[in-house]
A and B are shown apart, each in its own frame.
Chain A
Amino acid sequence: MSAVRTLVDLLARRRDPATLAPRDWDSVIGVARSEAMLATLAHRLADADLRPTVAALFADQRTAAKVAQRQALWEAEMARRALAPAGIEFVLLKGAAYAAAGMSCAAGRQIGDLDILVLAHDIRRTENLLLKAGWEWVKSDPYDDAYYRQHMHELPPMIHKARDRMIDVHHTILPRTHRITPDALALVSDAVASGASFAVLNPADMACHCAAHMLADGDLQGGLRNLWDFHTMTRDFAAVDPAFWGKLDARADLHGLRGPVRRAARLARDLYGAVLPGGWDRQDPADRWFRRRLLARDDWGRVTNPLLEQAFYIRSHWLRMPPAMLAKHLWTKWRKR
């Protein structure tokens, strides 16, 4: 069995870690690292009976992840200090949101940039306040800048001068030129408070965004991790709210995200053993391409089947831009290389 499948089986608790041989651990650990899920695995197996060196490595990972999470939440706090005095409210997205809300997928989760969502009419003021508070632009490529402003759903990335950490400011969750146009106003106005004095998306919206980010937005990089987020959050939301799946359906329809949300659920079932309500528990032949892409890692952590990877890159760009614009963008991008 391939290491990536073993990793998935360990996360889904279909496989007992005691049955892994030393060589199996080599590759499972390597693949988990390449999927940015080593600390997640370490949390999942925190109570398992493990070889001493594996247990020690996992303990290191859990400790390091806690430090990294504090750093990531501090970025959110500093953004709040910059924006709150001017009355700008923002909603935390992705990893920082999961951490602020104490969700189970936050355990061991690597958080990269800070992602926040603001209302479109606050975007200029947000930009100015962040610049005043010590953030600066990362890129200076003029084409990329125009592209971001006219076509993408976020400001060009900014980085803080002193802390060297990035912030991505969004005003919708998918680009304006995308075929699907989620309801940004609804996202912000229906946001809820997390435990830690930050606003986060409400549960159904959070799951919608997770699915959108994984399937309608990105090229499935980091897919296993995003799918794990989707799986654990929907499982936990449904456990406290029996009506959750219905709410998720309704919200997905509002945002035009029914396809990605349903697909994410089926993939969570196929890989992580998610239990789905009746109407969701279907088979879709196209899912197999996504499963293959999610599992396309060899035992040394390399992405296999590069052709498949290309297909996803083109597909994800196709979803973002009308085909004519796509051709122009890819040609310009290619020229710059």
Chain B
Amino acid sequence: MTDRTYRAAPSGALRIEPLGELTAIFDRRSMQTHLVVSPMPEILEAVGAAPCSAALLVSRLAATFDLAAADDVQPVLAERLGELTAMGLVERA
């Protein structure tokens, strides 16, 4: 489970529009609209084209966010990555 890596959508696939407290994301591949709140948009930005694990994601996000201990945060991020995978916004790498 902890070894899972993920990849972001190719550039140009997602149209991201902040709308106040929500972010609306249009996936041009699926024609779906997703409505998300922080930290999802930030997570999407931090997952890159290269395979990224939850652990790597923690370190990337720690640069901009005040995160608690990595042990606590990592499982939470793993869950979020699972959700983003179900939505099709990231893909298992």
Contact, chains A and B (beta carbon distance below 8 A):
yes
Find the residue from B28, B31, B87, B91 having the highest chain A CB count within 10 A: B31
The digit string for A222-264, where 1 denotes a CB below 8 A from any CB of B, is 0000000000000000000000000000000000000000000
B15 contacts chain A at the CB level, 8 A cutoff = no
| Interchain CA distance A162-B83 in the complex, whole Å | 12
B32 contacts chain A at the CB level, 8 A cutoff = yes
Q: Which residue of A lies closest to B86 (CB)?
A: A134
Find the residue from B28, B29, B91 having the highest chain A CB count within 10 A: B29
A163 contacts chain B at the CB level, 8 A cutoff = yes
| Interchain CA distance A293-B73 in the complex, whole Å | 64
Cβ of A290 to closest chain B Cβ, rounded Å: 37
A78 contacts chain B at the CB level, 8 A cutoff = yes
- Cβ–Cβ < 8 Å partners of B32 in chain A: 71, 74, 163
The digit string for B61-86, where 1 denotes a CB below 8 A from any CB of A, is 00000000000000000000000001
| Interchain CA distance A81-B92 in the complex, whole Å | 8
- Cβ–Cβ < 8 Å partners of B92 in chain A: 81, 85
Of the candidates A74, A133, A134, the one whose C-beta lies within 8 Å of that of B31 is: A74
Query: How many interface residues does A have (CB within 8 Å)?
Result: 12
Q: Are A162 and B86 in touch, CB under 8 angstroms? A: yes
Q: Are B30 and A74 in touch, CB under 8 angstroms? A: yes
Of the candidates A70, A85, A133, the one whose C-beta lies within 8 Å of that of B30 is: A70
B41 contacts chain A at the CB level, 8 A cutoff = no
Q: Are B88 and A74 in touch, CB under 8 angstroms? A: yes
- Cβ–Cβ < 8 Å partners of B29 in chain A: 70, 74, 77
Cβ of B38 to closest chain A Cβ, rounded Å: 21
| Interchain CA distance A242-B86 in the complex, whole Å | 45
| Interchain CA distance A70-B30 in the complex, whole Å | 6
- Cβ–Cβ < 8 Å partners of B87 in chain A: 162
Q: Which residue of B lies closest to A71 (CB)?
A: B31
- Cβ–Cβ < 8 Å partners of A81 in chain B: 88, 91-92
- Cβ–Cβ < 8 Å partners of A133 in chain B: 86
The digit string for A68-92, where 1 denotes a CB below 8 A from any CB of B, is 0011001001100100010000000
- B25-64 contacts to A (CB < 8 Å): 28-32
Cross-chain pairs A/B with CB under 8 angstroms, 18 sampled: A67-B31, A70-B28, A70-B29, A70-B30, A70-B31, A71-B30, A71-B32, A74-B30, A74-B31, A74-B88, A77-B29, A77-B88, A81-B88, A133-B86, A134-B86, A162-B86, A162-B87, A163-B32
> What 13 new A-B contacts, CB under 8 Å, besides A70-B29, A81-B91, A81-B92?
A67-B31, A70-B30, A74-B29, A74-B31, A74-B88, A77-B29, A77-B30, A77-B88, A78-B88, A81-B88, A134-B86, A162-B87, A163-B32
